Amino acid sequence: MYYRFIALVERLERTGNFLETAALVILLSAMMLLAVGQIVLREVFNTGFVWADELIKLMVLWLAMVGSIAATRDNRHIRIDALSHVLPEVAIRMIRILVDLFAAFICGVIAWQTWRYLQVEIEYQDTVLVNIPAWIAHSIMPAAFLLISFRFLVLVVKQIGAIVTRPAAGPGK
């Protein structure tokens, strides 16, 4: 049961990894091309797009959110890392389980609240980029925080797995 669950998670992880990377590549490339394109349009053709700057800024938000999902997967979020050099491995893993459960809970709350605000934006028919519904641009927030929350739970499961499957004597020093 446990191993089948792990296998499923691992398959999901490969797909997720690919999707994240693809999204990051597309966003970053488009952002660079758009910014340079604006310069060329301005310097050479004396024109530009009125929405370009706003779009670049929305892309920053998307990069931040998708990058943050990827950072959770790679376990690269910034933490005060004072204990990992003093405590034994098992203690560190148990502490990690605790703090990552906390992070998963907080991200779940943020996902829920940003989702609620999305409904408000739909109700008021807010727009971005001249006439695009704002909720489309902002839907990345609840989606991302939900996924981040999920990733933290996966990290917790992995830590538990590592403690459970650890050889009884522990890693030889």
Partner 1 sequence: MIALSVLLVLLAIIGAPLFAVIAASAMIGFQKGETDLMIMALEIQSIASMPFLSAIPMFTFAGYLLSESNAPTRLVKLTGAMMGWMPGGLALVCLAACAFFTAFTGASGVTIIALGAILYPALKQDGYGDKFNLGLVTSAGSLGLLFAPSLPLILYGVIAEVPVDNLFLAGILPGLLMLLMLSGWSIWVNRHIRRPLSSFSVREVGKALRESIWELPLPIVVLGGIYSGFFAVSEAAAVTALYVVLVEVVILREIPLRDLPRIMRASMVLVGAILVILGASIASTGYMIDAGIPQRLFELVSSMVSSQTSFLILLLLFLLVLGAILDIFSAIVLVVPLILPIAAGYGVNEVHLGIVFLAAMQLGYLTPPVGLNLFIASYRFEKPILHVYSATFPFLIILMLSVILITFLPELSLVFLSN
Partner 2 sequence: KIATATPDGTQWMDDMRTGAKEIKERTEGRVQIKYYGGGIKGDDKKVLGQIRIRQLQGGAFTPSALTSQYSDLNLYGMPLIFDSEEEAAYVRSRLDARLQKGLEDAGFVNFGFATSGFANIMSNTPVRSLSDLKGKRVWVPEGDTISYASMQALSLSPVTLPLTDVLTGLQTGLIDIVAIPPFVALILQWHTKVKYVTKVPLVYTFGFMAVDKKAFEKINAEDQAIVREVMGRIYENFNKVNLVDNDAAFDALVKSGIQPVELDEEEYKKTRKVLLASNRQLGEQGKFTKELYDEMMRYVDEYRSQRGATGRD
Minimum CB distance to partner 1 smaller for 6 or for 19 = 19
Task: Give 79 or 166: the residue with its C-beta nearer to partner 1.
Answer: 79
Q: How far apart are CA 24 and CA 5, in angstroms?
A: 28
Q: 36 — alpha (psi -120 to 50), left (phi > 0) or beta? A: alpha
Distance in Å, CB of 8 to partner 1, minimum: 23
Q: Which residue has the tokens 């703090």?
A: 99
Nearer to partner 1, 20 or 150 (CB): 20
Q: Which two tokens stand for residue 128?
A: 């971005």
Exposed, middle or buried by CB within 10 Å (0-12, 13-18, 19+), for 25?
exposed
Q: With residue 132 as reference, give the H or E element that holds it.
A: strand 132-133
| 111 CB neighbour count, 10 Å cutoff | 20
Decide which of partner 1, partner 2, none touches 81; Cβ closer than 5 to 8 Å per partner kind: partner 1
Q: How far is the CB of 22 from partner 2 (least distance, A)?
A: 30
* Residue 130 binds to partner 2 (criterion: CB under 8 A): yes
Binding partner of residue 48 among partner 2, partner 1, none, CB cut-off 5 to 8 Å per kind: partner 2
Task: Name which of partner 1, partner 2, none residue 79 binds, using a CB cut-off of 5 to 8 Å depending on partner kind.
Answer: partner 1
Structure tokens at 20: 């994240």
The least distance separating partner 1 from the CB of residue 26, rounded to whole angstroms, comes to 10
